């Protein structure tokens, strides 16, 4: 059974810091890994999608990497801003079509 874990559960950093969020999964037979952002009480905004054949994806200040063999992904946020404060969720898909989510990392960037 696929399980997704995110560490840390919460993170507070001063503005301008570079930071890394971690995601691990137990079954390496995945199709995609996706990072989402969720603002309080809101839906999910897709940040980056990494297909199983890819090693990383980049969008602006965000970079996500994928290591299937070790069951790990990292989301790197460069030069953090207060507007980056949100919960970041990692999810994987496999042959069953559904997303399996971690419990998220709550990020607070202090001005």
Partner 1 sequence: DAGVTQSPTHLIKTRGQQVTLRCSPKSGHDTVSWYQQALGQGPQFIFQYYEEEERQRGNFPDRFSGHQFPNYSSELNVNALLLGDSALYLCASSWGQGNTEAFFGQGTRLTVV
Which residues of this chain interact with partner 1, rule CB under 8 A? 4, 31-32, 34, 36, 41-46, 49, 89, 91, 93-104
Which CB, 14 or 41, lies closer to partner 1?
41
Structure tokens at 41: 């009480």
Which CB, 36 or 80, lies closer to partner 1?
36
- Name the minimum Å distance from CB 1 to partner 1: 11
CB 13 within 8 A of CB 85: no
CA distance 98 to 100: 6
- Name the minimum Å distance from CB 57 to partner 1: 12
- Name the minimum Å distance from CB 21 to partner 1: 14
User: Residue 9 gets which letter from DSSP?
Assistant: S
CA distance 111 to 94: 39
């Amino acid at each position: 059974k696929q399980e997704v874990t995110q560490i840390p559960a919460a993170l507070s950093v001063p503005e301008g810091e570079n930071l890394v969020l971690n995601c691990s999964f137990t079954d390496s037979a995945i199709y995609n890994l996706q990072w989402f952002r969720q603002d309080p009480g809101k839906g999910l905004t897709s940040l980056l999608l990494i297909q199983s054949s890819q090693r990383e994806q980049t969008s602006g200040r965000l970079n996500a990497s994928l290591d299937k063999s070790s069951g790990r992904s990292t989301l790197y946020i460069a030069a953090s801003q207060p507007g980056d404060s949100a919960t970041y969720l990692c999810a994987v898909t496999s042959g069953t079509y559904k997303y399996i989510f971690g419990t998220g990392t709550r990020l607070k960037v202090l001005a």
